[in-house]
Structure 1
């Protein structure tokens, strides 16, 4: 059994049970972004959370070990064509250097961690059309000289 197999089983069970990611995350006591990433195989979960997911989705017991495995974080390196994902690439393409410049101006020479990191995706009501608010909250990691 591989992470792709477990992802497929989870998505089928999620659909059959009519659950949303926020509800699933709440049931295991984690954030929706982290929970979804684990279910998609892009992060690993500790044993207790993996076991909760197995129970929630009625997965085979061996799925827990797969959910706990460290993932190989690779994906199709081509720019995706799905509009929701493409727009994020477009934002980084247009504003990436600006983001880097402002980070360096405010913090110095370094990067934002994607390990010591949290992400939140919210809906903000607006009379002109609801807005998507994505917060990327990562620890600053200063480059060191040696």
Structure 2
């Protein structure tokens, strides 16, 4: 079985059981709802206790349970740009606001990137009279680019001096 097939099996069980992601995350426990969703959608791994609970919830085999704990091939089926309208809007937002975010990071931190590995994500509904909004908070560790080792006395490049 491929990981994508396991994801489809989980989504079938979710539909058949009329389960919400919130109830699934509460049953599996131990991590945020967004992390559990990401893992069950095949982009993260679940630790053994959570994989065991997921296997019980979805009626998975021992091999499928183990697969939930394996390091996945992330973004394996990504299309650029994505064809799903919701995913396309995220892509569009990064195309529009990404250069601004990049410039802000470089001005505030120096030459480097925001980690997508040491990373937190939260989302919530934000009531608004003009129509509810989606609040997304991404928090990633700043990772400076590492240059060749400077000679003694030469400044190291990377972090911005405050």
Shared fold, TM over 0.5: yes
**RMSD, aligned α-carbons:** 1.2
- Pick aligned residue for 1:115 from 117, 137, 141: 117
Unaligned runs of at least 5 residues, structure 1: none
TM-score by length of 1: 0.93
> Partner of 2:43: helix, strand, or coil?
coil
Whole-Å separation in 2 of the counterparts to 1:98 and 1:129: 26
Partner SS for 1:62? helix
Structure with the greater alpha carbon radius of gyration: 2
More RCO (CA 8 Å, sep 6+): 1
Could you say which residue in structure 1 is the equivalent of 2:51? 50
SS of 1:145's equivalent in the other structure is: coil
1:68 is aligned to 2:69:
yes
The alpha carbon displacement at 1:4 in A equals 1.3
Check conservation: 1:22, 1:31, Cα contact below 8 A. no
Instruction: State the 4+ residue runs in structure 1 displaced beyond 6 angstroms.
Output: none
What is the rounded CA distance, in whole Å, between the counterparts of 2:116 and 2:33 in structure 1? 17
Question: What is the CA–CA distance in structure 1 between the aligned matches of 2:42 and 2:130, rounded to whole Å?
Answer: 36
1:3 aligned residue? 3
- 1:48-92 CA-partner distances (Å, limit 9, x unpaired): 111111011111222111111111122233311221111111111
Q: 1:35 offset after TM fit, Å?
A: 0.9
Return the TM-score normalized by structure 2: 0.85
